[in-house]
A and B are shown apart, each in its own frame.
Chain A
Amino acid sequence: MSTLLKYTLRIADNSLILGQRMAEWCSKGPTLEEDIAMSNIALDLFGQANGFLEYASKIDGQKTADDLAFKRDASNFYNFCLVEVENGHFGNTMIRSLLFDTFYLLFYKELSKSQDENLSALAFKSLKEIKYHFRHSQNWIIRLGDGTKESNKKVQESLNNLWKYTDEFFEIDNVDQIMIDQKIGVNTSLLKKEWTEIIESTINEAKLIKPSTIKMITGGRDGKHSNKLSSLLKEMQYLPRKYPNAKW
């Protein structure tokens, strides 16, 4: 697999898998407005994933964007471990979104300057949307953290639980290094400082406590996932796998 293909799939897979998780909220949102908000966010994420998968399909030369979404196994998905984590309660979903949205906001900002004009165009487009997502998750975490004793306790627990997945955002491996050297990819290790500042100021305002450093979990970007991803894919890929020639 070419380096550019893997790099593009990593971006696409984050949006696709988080989109699928957000879509699981459809019809189960805590209020009608939130149900609509989360479905809208899921749609944006699917749209972004589609753009990156179309580009990945072009690089691949054989597989279509649908093949890439529906015919890969978990070990060939390269999303962050964070985005496959189950939704849990609403506050848990919002913590997951806050951690991810903050990172993707910074990531897309940098990727929009990529020398690869396809990636830069898709990043610029996606950046407009992720700004909304970020405001949404940030506002909710401030509201829940600085809400009741119970809501504070719940989101604090979620923050403590999900913190271990955040180091993966800033890892640089061979694929990244080659892309950085070609001025295509983003040096995400340089985004850690700003990400930490935004997260710290948000959790301060939300009267939450930053979790202490714990053992981090990574590997998603190389296809090492929890069995939660397989369950997610089983549902997401059911129809095209069961009826390979189905058209919709």
Chain B
Amino acid sequence: MQNGKINKIWKLLETVPDPEIPVISVIDLGVIRDITVKNNYYKITITPTYSGCPAMKTIQDDIKTCLKKNNINNFDFIIKYSPAWTTDWMSKRTKDKLLKYGISPPSDITICPQCKSKNTKLVSEFGATACKAFYKCLDCLEPFESFKCI
């Protein structure tokens, strides 16, 4: 019964979007590391993407809202730094979603999301959010963002 509820929480979290990249969920992002239960109290383990990412707070707030809406009130968060978050935790499906959304997914080869060219150039290692770098496509000349590999 408790396992059933843990599964339910996992399912619910799949509906919580990343606040910056709404096409992927917090599960897709790989920040939810574990959900455990003790004495009918749930502990959700979250690992930060970047130490200072302001979305981490929003993610917790969004999870709270989602679970409370589904009558789950007895939970808390554990922030875990180790093992450190890595883009390797993103599935191929997640990476495909990113590319479709217009962000080049974390990879050794940076692909232009517009024309799919591999002939791209780094403009700045720092983009609009901590997790993204700023690129330019040398074929279609469009600027685009790329998810950094960490």
A: which residues have CB within 8 A of B?
33-34, 36-37, 40-48, 50-51, 54, 117-118, 120-122, 124-126, 128-129, 132, 135-136
Asked whether, in the complex, the Cβ of A43 is within 8 Å of the Cβ of B52, the reply is yes
Render B21-55 as a binary contact track against A, CB cut-off 8 A, 1 for contact.
00000000000000000000000000010111110
Asked whether, in the complex, the Cβ of A37 is within 8 Å of the Cβ of B81, the reply is no
A161 CA to B92 CA, complexed, in Å: 50
**Of the candidates B51, B126, B130, B134, which one forms a contact with A125 in the assembled complex, judged by CB atoms under 8 Å apart?**
B51
A122 CA to B54 CA, complexed, in Å: 17
A42 CA to B123 CA, complexed, in Å: 20
Asked whether, in the complex, the Cβ of A120 is within 8 Å of the Cβ of B127, the reply is no
Is B150 part of the binding interface, using a Cβ–Cβ cutoff of 8 Å? yes
Is B3 part of the binding interface, using a Cβ–Cβ cutoff of 8 Å? no
Asked whether, in the complex, the Cβ of A121 is within 8 Å of the Cβ of B84, the reply is yes
Asked whether, in the complex, the Cβ of B84 is within 8 Å of the Cβ of A33, the reply is no
| Given known A-B contacts A33-B134, A117-B82, A124-B84, A50 and B52 have beta carbons under 8 A apart | yes
Q: Considering the complex, give the chain B residue whose CB is closest to the CB of A40.
A: B126
**Prevailing SS type, chain A contact patch:** helix
Asked whether, in the complex, the Cβ of B134 is within 8 Å of the Cβ of A44, the reply is no
Tell me which residues across on chain B come within 8 A of A135, comparing CB atoms: 125
Tell me which residues across on chain B come within 8 A of A42, comparing CB atoms: 52
Asked whether, in the complex, the Cβ of B123 is within 8 Å of the Cβ of A129, the reply is no
Asked whether, in the complex, the Cβ of B54 is within 8 Å of the Cβ of A125, the reply is no
| Distance to closest chain B CB from A165 (angstroms) | 25
Q: What 6 A-B pairs are tightest by C-beta distance, nearest first?
A: A47-B52, A47-B51, A121-B82, A43-B52, A37-B126, A121-B81
15 A-B contact pairs sorted by A residue (CB < 8 Å): A33-B126, A34-B124, A44-B130, A47-B50, A48-B51, A48-B52, A121-B81, A121-B82, A121-B84, A125-B82, A125-B84, A128-B84, A129-B50, A129-B51, A132-B126
A129 CA to B124 CA, complexed, in Å: 15
| Given known A-B contacts A121-B82, A121-B84, A124-B84, A36 and B52 have beta carbons under 8 A apart | no
| Given known A-B contacts A51-B81, A121-B84, A128-B150, A36 and B127 have beta carbons under 8 A apart | yes
Q: Considering the complex, give the chain A residue whose CB is closest to the CB of B86.
A: A128
Apart from the given pairs A41-B126, A50-B52, A129-B150, 4 other A-B contacts in the complex at a CB distance below 8 Å: A43-B54, A46-B52, A126-B51, A132-B126
**Of the candidates B50, B81, B82, B128, which one forms a contact with A36 in the assembled complex, judged by CB atoms under 8 Å apart?**
B128
A126 CA to B130 CA, complexed, in Å: 13
Tell me which residues across on chain A come within 8 A of B134, comparing CB atoms: 33, 36
Asked whether, in the complex, the Cβ of B124 is within 8 Å of the Cβ of A37, the reply is yes
Asked whether, in the complex, the Cβ of A44 is within 8 Å of the Cβ of B82, the reply is no
A120 CA to B84 CA, complexed, in Å: 11
A19 CA to B81 CA, complexed, in Å: 20
Asked whether, in the complex, the Cβ of A33 is within 8 Å of the Cβ of B123, the reply is yes
Asked whether, in the complex, the Cβ of A44 is within 8 Å of the Cβ of B124, the reply is no
| Distance to closest chain A CB from B22 (angstroms) | 21
Tell me which residues across on chain B come within 8 A of A44, comparing CB atoms: 50-52, 130
Q: Considering the complex, give the chain B residue whose CB is closest to the CB of A126.
A: B51
| Distance to closest chain B CB from A236 (angstroms) | 15
Asked whether, in the complex, the Cβ of A120 is within 8 Å of the Cβ of B50, the reply is no
Q: Considering the complex, give the chain B residue whose CB is closest to the CB of A131.
A: B150
Q: Considering the complex, give the chain A residue whose CB is closest to the CB of B150.
A: A128
Asked whether, in the complex, the Cβ of A37 is within 8 Å of the Cβ of B82, the reply is no
